[in-house]
Amino acid sequence: MKIVVKRLSNNKVIDLLGIKRLELSREKTCIWVVCPSNKTSSIFTHNRDIYKLKLTTLSIGDITKCFDNLKKAICTNDGTDLKHFLDLPVRVIITDERTEKILDCLDIATTLMNDTGSAIFYHCLVDDIRLISENPDLEKILNESEQRYATLMSKLIKNSQ
């Protein structure tokens, strides 16, 4: 399972993230899907060309076990009823790779499976218009990220044919 981060303004991919762990928020109001930012670790390059994605993430089985463990801990230890647990929102938390400092918190817009049925993706949207209005320098970074992932996807599609 992987996280796809898209721009709200044009629905273009700007990042792909792997899942490190699941945990309950400190306030016990939502479940966090914790994902380290991927500054360098997710893309294999050679001679400055992107060739493939090498993203470390949890499997569906691992995620199911994590949810089961959270359910047992919350419903048994904290006395929370199952309905309340199942109503908890799930949010994607992006952390710094090294320090684990929280960089962003994203809502999950949808969950999709790829065409071959071999992978599942949580899709999250970033309000890029708001971000750019607050910090105009981010527009260049977002545009570069969008282009980098468009190139990656076209190479992956080309290599799989």
Across the chain, which distance is largest between two alpha carbons, in Å?
Answer: 56
Q: Which two tokens stand for residue 40?
A: 């360098």
Strands 102-113 and 49-53: unpaired
d(CA 32, CA 94): 10
In Å, how far are 1, 42, 112, 133 from 123, measured between CA atoms?
11, 17, 8, 23
- Phi, psi dihedrals of residue 9, rounded to the nearest 5°: -70, -35
Using CA atoms, how far apart are residues 102 and 90, in angstroms rounded to an integer? 16
**pLDDT (tens digit, 9 = 90+) per residue, 2-26?**
888 999 999 998 888 889 999 999 8
Give 129's pLDDT tier (boundaries 50, 70, 90): very high
Q: What is the pLDDT of residues 26-50, one digit of tens each?
A: 888 999 999 988 665 455 444 555 4
Q: At CA 54, angle to CA 52 and CA 60, rounded to 5?
A: 125
pLDDT for 40? 55
Predicted model pTM = 0.78
Domain range summary for the chain, segments of one domain joined by +:
2-160
